[in-house]
Amino acid sequence: MIMGAGELLRRVRSPDSRRSQRRGWALVTAIWVMASLQGCDQAITSGDRSQTYYNERFDFELVYPRGWKPGPSPDNRDGQAFYAPDNQAIEVRAWGSYPLVFAGDDTPKAPEGENFTTRQGLSGRLQVDIGPEVSTMTLRLERDRILYTWQAQAPSEVFPEYYPLFQSLAKQYYLAPQD
C-alpha cells in the first residue's frame, strides 16, 4: 500500500504512533543499558591501576583511576573531584553532607528505593541519568545523619564506554566502619 505524504504525516502525529515511538526508544534504551552492564564486574583492584582519596572530614574513601587529575579542593573539605587526564569533562567525585532537617522532621530521609550495594555491603540508591550532552551516575548512601554522594559523569556520546568503569568505582566507594 502506497501512502501519500498527508496520510503518512497523520500517522506519525497520531497518539498511537507516538506511543509506539516511545516504546521503541524505551526498547533501544533497555538494550543499550543491558549491553553496557556486561563487564561491569571488572573491578579496578590492582594497585598500579588505581589510587584512593581519603576524606578526613566525612571518613570515606574514593577509588579513582591512576593518572586522573584532582580538581581544586573545596574550602569546606567535604569531598574531591578527579578528572580524566585527556578530557576534563570525564570525572568522578564524592562528598559528604549534612542533609537539611525541616521543622517537625527530626531525621533526614534515607535515599529512596535502595537498589545498589557496595562491596563493603552498604546499601544505597544508584541513579543513571542520560542527558543530551552529559550523562551521570550518582550513588547516595545515608549513615549517621550524613548523606554520602558519589558521582561520575561523561559526555553522553562516550558515557557507554565509561559505564563499566564507573560501576566498578561506585562498588568500591567505602565508608569507614562505625565506632
Residue 174 contacts residue 50 (beta carbons within 8 Å): no
Shortest CA distance to 93 belongs to which of 115, 62, 68?
62
Q: Which pLDDT value is given to residue 113?
A: 85
pLDDT tens digit string along 41-86?
444 444 458 999 999 999 999 999 999 999 998 888 899 999 999 9
For the chain, the domains span 5-37, 50-175
Shortest CA distance to 112 belongs to which of 97, 125, 94, 129?
125
Q: Which pLDDT value is given to residue 38?
A: 44
Angle at 75 between CA 136 and CA 109, to 5 degrees: 50
CATH top class, domain 50-175: alpha beta
Q: Which pLDDT value is given to residue 178?
A: 77
Section 107-112 average pLDDT: 58
- 86: helix, strand or coil: coil
Residue 128 contacts residue 145 (beta carbons within 8 Å): no
**pTM flag (> 0.85):** no
The cell 582519596 sits on which residue?
53
pLDDT tens digit string along 3-56?
444 443 444 445 554 454 454 444 334 434 444 444 444 444 444 589 999 999
pLDDT tens digit string along 110-142?
556 899 999 999 999 999 999 999 999 999 999
The DSSP bridge partners found for residue 63 are: 52
**For the chain, where are the alpha helices, taking DSSP H only?**
5-13, 15-37, 159-171
